[in-house]
Copies of this chain bind each other. A is one copy, B any other.
Amino acid sequence: MDQKQSPQRPRNEVRRLPERGVYDREVIHAILDEALICHVGFITDRGPVVIPTIHARVGDILYLHGSPASRMLRTVPDAEVCITATLVDGIVAARSTFHHSMNYRSVVVFGVPRVVTDPDERSAAFEAITEHVLPGRWTEARQPNDREDKATKLLAVTIEDASAKVRTGPPGDEDEDMNLDIWAGVIPLGVVAGKPVSAPDLKPGVEMSEAALRRTAGGSGTSTTES
């Protein structure tokens, strides 16, 4: 088996439209890194629950964090989870409504999370989570103190039982529809960051965050003084 590919076990096998299934580890990592949030599925005594949350990847490990009191973080250690991250890249408008679709990239990761207690691993994961959402922010902001560290539960899932599913390109219409006078194509979609909005109680004279400027579309990276 190619070392760069996830093992194709029955559960992570992409069942429908197998041509869209990709198992390349780099593809899986890239999708997880680009997605700002993921959706975590777990089983409660009343059925399945799916919760959106922030994640970050370090190597082959996916980290989730939150309050120790959160239902998700109380429920999932030592229980199976499914973590799904999805990027929506476009609306696929076919000649037929039937062949309308989305262009997207998604990753599904299965695993049993472990609670992370090692101080070094925790610190590296907290940095990764902050940097995932806003690259460059870890060194700009005040880093966690002991009280905040104690107030954060950290879970790790090894990215092993995982797969990606990708759709790209134009619509796939029926041959019989190709001569219809109906436009077909793709409307590209993307997430765009607007101009940073300073907190109303920002200390006068504090400079705009370089990380925020870089994150913003068309952000020049030039410092501006906010007051």
Closest Cβ neighbor of A40 among chain B residues: B50
> Across the two chains, which residue of chain B brings its CB closest to A11?
B46
User: Do B191 and A190 have beta carbons less than 8 Å apart?
Assistant: yes
A70 and B15 contact, CB distance less than 8 A: yes
Number of copies: 2
CB pair A142 B180 closer than 8 Å: yes
Given contact pairs A41-B48, A93-B209, A142-B182, a sample of 4 additional A-B residue pairs in the complex whose CB atoms are under 8 Å apart: A47-B82, A93-B212, A181-B207, A192-B192
Given contacts A82-B48, A104-B52, contact A198 B226 (CB under 8 A): no
Question: Which positions 1-31 of chain A face chain B at CB distance < 8 Å?
Answer: 10-11, 15-16
Q: Is the CB of A141 within 8 A of B100?
A: yes
A window 132-187: CB within 8 A of B: 133-134, 137-138, 140-145, 148, 151-152, 170-171, 173, 177-187
